[in-house]
Amino acid sequence: MTSFLSLQNISFAYPSSEPLFSRLNLNLYREGKIFIRGRNGAGKTTLFSLIMGLLKPTEGSILLEGNPIKTKKDIRHLRRKVGLLFQDPDDQLFCPTLLDDILFGPLNLGMEKEEAMDSAMKAMKVLNIVSLASYPPYALSGGQKRLGALAALLSMKPELLLLDEPSNGLDEEAWENLVSVLQKLPIALVIASHDIPFLEQVTHKGYEMKKGYLLSLN
């Protein structure tokens, strides 16, 4: 199977720091739910930032559907197809109401208002948060914010979602709700987390990030 997103010989180091990755390789496909786990500071969030073009690798290349990501236009194209859920949903929800937030991406993609609204409603229905549409994000609970941020990504109809510590700070009910939502999502997921029970329920295979390398775990 041809990989959807491919990281080839990626090296990266923060300024005045030891290299975090050295010639790292990873292939991601359009199907399946996989995890990346590793200790704090191992580089999971950095890896996602590199994929999304928020950081630039010092060496190596990232390929989307076989084409290297080089220009700003390529990065914009990648961001249409890949979504990133941040660790803290407060960073991701910044509009006056949750509905505005969910519409933010589709409108920026150039969708017409009706189409954007349709996409937003579909995303909210999948996550069962239609009733929260008119609430300001600050008035939502941690679990609701997380689902709101996820809806904001789903409304852009991505083909792959990168989730950075999605179960952090959730109570039991919100945790179970998120597990059930992610199990049903018909989209490829890469989840970075240390929450082993969560990963066991949502993903089927994954990698351990250790000393800048990804070790396959099945």
Partner 1 sequence: MHSNNLPSLTYDFNSSESFLTRISASAKIMLVLAFALCIALLSSVSAQLFLLGYSFMLIFLAKIQLRALIKRVLSLDGFLIFLWLTLPFSGPHGVELALSITIRTHAAVFAFMALLGTTSMGELLYGLRALAIPQKLVLLLHFTYRYARVFVEEAEKIYTSMTLRMFHPSLSLGTLRSYGNLIGMLLVRSILRSERVAHAMELRGFDGSFHFLESPASPKEGDNFRLGVLYILLAGCFIL
Q: Which residues are near partner 1 by CB under 8 A?
A: 49, 52, 54, 76, 79-80, 83-84, 86, 88, 90-92, 94-97, 99-100, 103-105, 107-109, 113, 135-142, 144, 152-153, 156
Q: Which residue number, 162 or 199, has a Cβ lying nearer to partner 1? A: 162
Q: Are 60 and 46 in contact (CB under 8 A)?
A: no
Task: With H, G, I as helix, E, B as strand and everything else as coil, classify residue 120.
Answer: helix
Q: Which is nearer to partner 1, 27 or 134 (CB)?
A: 134
Q: What's the rounded Cα separation, in Å, for the pair 124 and 156?
A: 12
Shortest Å, Cβ 16 to partner 1: 18
Task: Give CA–CA dist 104/195, Å, rounded.
Answer: 30
Min CB(42)–partner 1 separation in Å: 19
Nearer to partner 1, 99 or 190 (CB): 99
Degrees, nearest 5: CA angle 214-50-150: 95
Nearer to partner 1, 43 or 206 (CB): 43
The pair of structure tokens assigned to 24 is 């790292």
List the structure tokens of 1: 């199977």
Q: How far is the CB of 167 from partner 1 (least distance, A)?
A: 18
